[in-house]
Amino acid sequence: MSEKLSYLNEPLLHEWEHREFGHATDEEKVIASHPSTENTASFFGTCLNGLNAISGVGILSVPYALASGGWLSLVLLFAIATTAFYTGMLIKRCMDKYSNIRTYPDIGELAFGKTGRLIVSVSMYTELYLVSIGFLILEGDNLSNLFPIGEVQIAGLAIGGKQFFVILVSLIILPTVWLDNLSLLSYVSASGVFASAFIILSISWTATFDGVGFHQKGTSVNWNGIPTAVSLYAFCYCAHPVFPTLYNSMTNKHQFSNVLLLCFLLTTVGYASMAIIGYLMFGADVESQITLNLPLNKVSSKLAIYITLVNPISKYALMATPITNALKDLLPSTYKNRVTNILVSTVMVIGTTIVALVVPFYGYLMSLVGAFLSVTASILLPCFCYLKISGSYRRFECETVIIVIIIIPAIVMGISGSYNSVMEIVHQL
């Protein structure tokens, strides 16, 4: 866990010094060297960081995803996990080819030049922005469920209970985005690994010992809900922008494949367990966040909700920092100081708060993130970049066929899931 998350400091675009590398072809845009990341992370430390990156608030939505698609949609969860692992390996192979790749946007630039860097950066930052909004919605939903209140009068304005909690959490989060010590933030966010495990245990305890039970049978398949299920499953595996940083942080980079394998196995077991437990507990009535179904008079339920509340607060700053750094980089050098840094970070929090108040639909928003942005950043971009960097697109090989087989369903999944999510959001507004 000792590495500093260097990708957080990457600007949207760099002034690059282009030069030839090894056997790169003329049309390949090659990246210039970055300051090296300290290679101090052990196998165990990198595993913890990888688990922290992959396991997140998506664990609260997988029961809803399973309820949307039915029992057979679990096959899609495993298929998406396998695909995401494979595309993670493609990112590793891109970095093995050119040792001075430091960040995810670097891979985009190496493959497709400035345009590639811009596409990767925009998709990555947009995804992080929407996930940050999702954190605020999640906090508002759970706090209003835990402490139901009516309207609150502030400066003559009537604010609903859920909206009040969103604003309150934003004020609590605000000082964390002013911090410059990213290594401290990364240590704080590592609590997410243990929080996810604790949430599963708490909810299992609620079902087994606190009277809820596993009485729901569910349905085999619900074809209308498959796009939502697929989108939410994809959201669970949206950590690919962090993989280059984890790779560069390792003392022994040859072990990175084993890190990815272990992380994907453990997180997939966790996601599948939570999905099955939640669906058996509440069936088709499960909410977009399973914590909203839990009986509030049970200690185990309250512990699960409290852990859920702490986790997004600790991670918000890490999600927001790449965006604020990119915005700060666009400022003229004369305006780059501590005051403007705080101002930009504050504007970021205000912006996400406003969207969270306007679109308070956690499940649909995360479904949109999964369908459009996670599919793009975690499946499509690694495939396209690897085909270009490796030159595989010129050869008809088994690997090329496998990648094309991945790309085609991913495009269909992204389009159908995005359309379904947008329509659901519009219908709810």
Could you give the CA distance from residue 360 to residue 357 in angstroms, rounded to a whole number? 6
Tokens encoding 427: 């219908």
Query: What letter does residue 41 receive in the DSSP assignment?
Result: B
Residue 37 located in a structural domain:
no
How many residues belong to the chain? Answer: 429
Distance of alpha carbon 272 from alpha carbon 74, whole angstroms: 7
396-407: string of b/e by CB count within 10 Å (b at 16+)? eeeeeeebeebe
Domain contains 19: no
Count of domains observed in the chain: 1
Residue 201: Cβ within 10 Å count: 14
Write the CA distances from 387 to 22, 133, 307, integer angstroms: 17, 33, 42
Closest Cα to residue 319, out of 188, 173, 128, 168?
128
**Is residue 251 a contact partner of residue 41, using CB atoms and an 8 Å limit?**
yes
Residue 19: count of CB within 10 angstroms of its CB: 10
Return the CATH number at 117: 1.20.1740.10
Give the pair of three-digit tokens for residue 221.
């398949």
Burial of 24 (0-12, 13-18, 19+ CB in 10 A): middle
Separation between Cα atoms, residue 267 and residue 258, nearest integer Å: 14
Hey, is 157 helix, strand or coil?
strand
User: What pLDDT is stored for residue 5 in this prediction?
Assistant: 44
Which helix (H) or strand (E) element contains residue 153? strand 152-154
Report whether 119 contacts 108 (CB < 8 A).
yes
pLDDT tens string 362-383: 777 778 888 888 889 899 999 9
Residue 397 within any structural domain of the chain: yes
Per-residue pLDDT of the chain (429 residues; tens, 9 = 90+): 434 344 444 544 454 444 334 344 333 333 333 444 456 667 777 787 788 778 877 888 899 999 999 999 999 999 999 999 999 999 999 988 887 788 888 899 999 999 999 999 888 888 888 888 888 888 888 888 888 887 777 766 777 778 888 898 999 888 878 875 555 555 555 666 777 888 889 899 988 888 788 888 889 999 988 988 998 898 889 888 888 878 887 888 888 999 999 999 999 999 999 999 999 999 999 988 888 888 888 888 888 888 888 777 777 876 777 788 778 777 777 777 778 888 888 999 999 999 888 877 777 777 888 888 888 989 999 999 999 998 887 888 888 999 999 999 999 988 888 888 888 777 776
Q: What values do phi and psi take at 159, rounded to 5?
A: -115, 130
**In which domain, by residue range, is 398 found?**
54-428
Alpha-carbon distance of 195 to 215, in angstroms, equals 26
* Residues near 104 by beta carbon (within 8 Å), at least 6 away in sequence: 7, 91, 120, 124, 240, 241, 242, 243, 244, 377
- Residue 36 domain flag: no
Percent helix, strand, coil in the chain, to 5, is 75, 0, 25
Residues 229-247 have pLDDT tens digits of 998 898 889 888 888 878 8
Q: Closest by alpha carbon to 257, among 21, 41, 86? A: 86
Tell me whether residue 368 is in a domain.
yes
On whether the CB atoms of residues 104 and 124 are closer than 8 A, the answer is yes
